[in-house]
Amino acid sequence: MANSTEAPPTSFTLSNGARMPAVGYGTFQSAAGNDHVEDFVSTALRVGYRHIDTALAYGNEKEVGRMIKKSAIPREELFVTTKLAQPWHRPEDVEEAMDESLKALGLEYVPHAYLPGPNHETVRHSSGNGKPVVDYAASKGYPATWAAMEKLVSIGKARAIGLSNFNILKTKKILEVARIKPAVNQVELHPYMPQHALLAFSARNGIHLTAHQPLGGTPVGVVALNNHIPGPLHDQTVKNIAKRLDKSPAQILLSWALQRGTSVVPKSARESRMKENLEVVRLSDEDFEALNGLKSDGNSIRYMDPRKHVGFDIFREDADEPVDDHAPWDEQWYRDLSQANGPGREQLFRGQKVPLCTPLNDTYINGI
């Protein structure tokens, strides 16, 4: 933590020497969908954002790209992050996925990309339960996906590469084989999910952490395991500090995040909130430590948790999930299918020639 008299950081230097603006604009899951994302991105760029966070899976790269071009802001001033969608994790698909993102964004390269069906859409479970069919081989073979990501840097399509939603165990496995060390890991971070151990581990290994959902928030419903629990925006300690400093609770949470050395990508559809999110403050050591101690790693609250959606816990530190090659709901389905279709059932599920999905561990592609 820096001295409490210093101004909050406006950017962070990554391991490859690139500078990432400390506060970015997140484009995922706008309440209004993607219909107005062009307006939102245009406003964000106009009020001063120079770090835009998007992803192929968000379905808005074209809109983001159009607004970047229309803004006429020099490319070297912009830091654009995109992510490799889950159905593109097979090593042979990585460069094609990047080409799709670059084409949609209208860029020659992106500053940063993350590793997270016939047209690579997610395949849903044949039982009709709405769950994604997981590609277990690709999910377990993420070091090979990382090697394919490294090639993107070598051929100039990405300036830096990183991770998203990787815990310590999985990050260690990447570091064991990496030719290019991850520059960034974008994970859920806020005072209710501080991830102190991951932050310390990342700092020791030169990996910058970016906070998605830095305000807590509510992720997509299928992975919102704890959305019934009020987030840190409603915490009384946060409110008390905000009132005393004449700031909003959101500004206090973003200030805390920057002060501990992590960048943030909050989202908002309102111009006033966009401006507010850029107006961070330096917290006193006392206030900083009060927020730091709201939750420990042992009693933290994770708002984005896909375990009930994919069938295993991608954040386990004692086992590299997935361990099995099937989801809990497969067993009853297999029994039902066996009774109905006999030995040919394999053709309907494990033998299907379709792109499957990997969980929410992504890779992250970053340009300048």
**pLDDT tens digits, one per residue of 123-181:** 555 566 667 777 777 788 889 989 988 998 888 888 888 998 899 999 999 999 999 99
Predicted confidence band at 312 (pLDDT cuts at 50, 70, 90)?
A: confident
pLDDT for residue 112 is more than 60: no
Q: What is the largest CA-CA distance in the chain?
A: 72
**Which pLDDT belongs to residue 111?**
35
Question: Do the Cβ atoms of 309 and 329 come closer than 8 Å?
Answer: no
**Which pLDDT belongs to residue 265?**
93
**Which pLDDT belongs to residue 121?**
45
Burial 50-73 (b: 16+ CB within 10 A, else e): bbbbbbbbbbbbbbbbbbbeeeee
Question: Do the Cβ atoms of 162 and 366 come closer than 8 Å?
Answer: yes
Show the tokens assigned to 365: 């592609």
Question: Do the Cβ atoms of 252 and 276 come closer than 8 Å?
Answer: no
Of the candidates 25, 58, 136, 142, the residue annotated as catalytic is 58
Q: Return mean pLDDT, the chain.
A: 80
For residue 107, give the nearest of 151, 85, 76, 145 by alpha carbon.
Answer: 76
> Cα separations (Å) of 352 from 123, 125, 139, 356?
10, 11, 17, 9
> Is residue 58 annotated as a catalytic residue, yes or no?
yes
Task: Quote the CA–CA distance of 113 and 344 in Å, as a whole number.
Answer: 40
**Triad 143, 148, 152: Cα angle to 5°:** 135
**Which pLDDT belongs to residue 351?**
40
Predicted confidence band at 346 (pLDDT cuts at 50, 70, 90)?
A: very low
Region at 47 (left for phi over 0; alpha for psi -120 to 50; beta for the rest): alpha
Question: Do the Cβ atoms of 131 and 310 come closer than 8 Å?
Answer: yes
> Greater confidence, 327 or 317?
317
> Greater confidence, 179 or 7?
179
Question: Do the Cβ atoms of 4 and 288 come closer than 8 Å?
Answer: yes
Q: For the chain, where are the E strands, in sequence order? A: 11-13, 19-21, 25-26, 51-53, 79-83, 112-114, 160-164, 184-188, 208-212, 263-264, 362-366
**Triad 292, 293, 299: Cα angle to 5°:** 115
Q: Radius of gyration (Cα) for the chain, nearest Å? A: 21
Give the mean pLDDT of 43-63: 86
Could you read off the pLDDT of 255-281 as tens digits, one per residue?
999 999 999 999 888 999 999 999 999
Residue carrying the six token digits 């499957």: 356
Question: Do the Cβ atoms of 75 and 48 come closer than 8 Å?
Answer: no
Show the tokens assigned to 180: 């290019």
